[in-house]
Amino acid sequence: MATTGKVIRCKAAVAWEPNKPLVIEEIEVAPPQANEVRIKIVATGLCHTDLYHLFEGMHKDGFPAVLGHEGAGIVESVGPGVTEFQPGDKVIPLFLSQCRECRFCKSPKTNQCEKGWAVDRYDVMALEDTRFTYSKYLVNTCFRIFFNQNLMSFRFSVQHDGKESRFTCKGKKVLQFMGTSTFSEYTVVNQIAVAKIDPAAPLDKVCLLGCGICTGYGAAVNTAKVEPGSTCAVFGLGAVGLAAVMGCKAAGAKKIIAVDINPEKFEKAKVFGATDFVNPKDHDKPISQVLAEMTNGGVDYSLECTGNVGVMRSALESCIQAWGVSVIVGWTELHDVATRPVQLIAGRTWKGSIFGGFKSKDGVSEMVKAYLDKKVKVDEFITHNMTLDQINDAIELMKHSKCIRTVLNISPE
């Protein structure tokens, strides 16, 4: 391509400071270095994690930055050492890496990657390649996820002091968010965090498989391991929750109870396989008691998709004792989660899930194929289509729960 090896000037939505609207700017995107891929972003979804960094995390050292992590695009050029990708490939950039070489990647027990994240640090998470390294300048988005077994906490980072960022704007380095930064016409990503997908895949649809849909669907299928004939409850009916409902149905659950305080979401949940609907506001007793009465003692599986610690506890206590499994899918850094020991001593299992337990490169490619084979829904999650220039309008829709997923059309294929 004519742009290979050259700096590309393109449009991006830049977050200059926390709690302020994004600004459409012309930025410069440097050529990919060793083991890197430069991608022309065609479409991206807007996820609440982007809003969290902007409005809730608000670390002053985390700006300016280009947000976005749920995108899809086409490889424009590759750096030295890249053999898996070539210009023209359709790809999805990933916030979770898969090097296929470390002990985590080789283990079927986890979808983490030692080369991708700082898993040996409790409160820091950063890529260990040439672009994401430990530094005293490291900044984080305070993003805690509770891993299965050890409840390990960590934080998704934007880049450190910007020295290795491939973005500049008005003479200033601009940070790259979660290794992806899809609110830009072009981005640069390490090859261990890119999934090659079927060339027939529509990028303005499958971009959503880069985060929300895989996160919810996989939490049911991979983490909870929902069994045929079981009863399930899904708390929270945003995109992740609806994907969890879809996962429960795919796994063969006979009863899927959708729980949300917004009754307008119930019809949408039915599309994805929900069989029953409960609004906690309609009851004067704890939701766990309501579900226990509906299911002869509690559900076999519950999936919490709200990021509210009170709901996390309710989801656990809604499971039947002896074998109930509850999975924390939503996230928060603001409060600790707690329950009485007897809830676990009685036989319940409490688990956490990141990216639905999918090994990222392999899982995303498989989910794209499943979509093309009409085995999973994607189009049904999209409630709005907008342009990059309308990104602040899309943010307002999400802030006020007026959308499931908005797709931003960034560039033509």
In sequence order, the β-bridge partners of residue 39 are 75, 187
The catalytic residue among 38, 144, 166, 313 is 144
Tokens matching residue 122: 């409790």
The catalytic residue among 38, 48, 155, 166 is 48
The catalytic residue among 10, 105, 142, 319 is 105
Task: Look up 48 and say whether it is catalytic.
Answer: yes
The answer to whether the CB of 255 falls within 8 A of the CB of 274 is no
The single-letter DSSP state of residue 317 is: H
> Between the CA atoms of 71, 77, 80 and 83, what dihedral angle is there, to the nearest 10 degrees?
70
The CA angle 94-100-102, to the nearest 5 degrees, is 110
The catalytic residue among 10, 38, 70, 207 is 70
The catalytic residue among 113, 142, 207, 319 is 113
Q: What is the DSSP string of 225-258?
A: ---TT-EEEEE--SHHHHHHHHHHHHTT-SEEEE
Nearest partner of 72 among 207, 253, 209, judged by Cα = 207
Tokens matching residue 287: 């939701």
Task: Look up 366 and say whether it is catalytic.
Answer: no
Q: Is 71 helix (H, G, I), strand (E, B) or coil?
A: strand
R_g of the chain, CA atoms, integer Å: 21
The catalytic residue among 53, 155, 160, 405 is 405
Task: Look up 305 and say whether it is catalytic.
Answer: no
Task: Look up 169 and say whether it is catalytic.
Answer: no
Question: In angstroms, rounded to a whole number, what is the distance separating the alpha carbons of residues 365 and 244?
Answer: 19
The catalytic residue among 49, 141, 180, 295 is 49
Task: Look up 319 and say whether it is catalytic.
Answer: no
Task: Look up 47 and say whether it is catalytic.
Answer: yes
Task: Look up 166 and say whether it is catalytic.
Answer: no
Task: Look up 144 and say whether it is catalytic.
Answer: yes
The catalytic residue among 10, 38, 44, 47 is 47
Task: Look up 232 and say whether it is catalytic.
Answer: no
The catalytic residue among 102, 333, 349, 366 is 102
The catalytic residue among 44, 53, 76, 99 is 99
Task: Look up 110 and say whether it is catalytic.
Answer: no
Give the other-Cβ count within 10 Å of 63's Cβ.
Answer: 19
Catalytic residues: 47-49, 69-70, 99, 102, 105, 113, 144, 211, 405
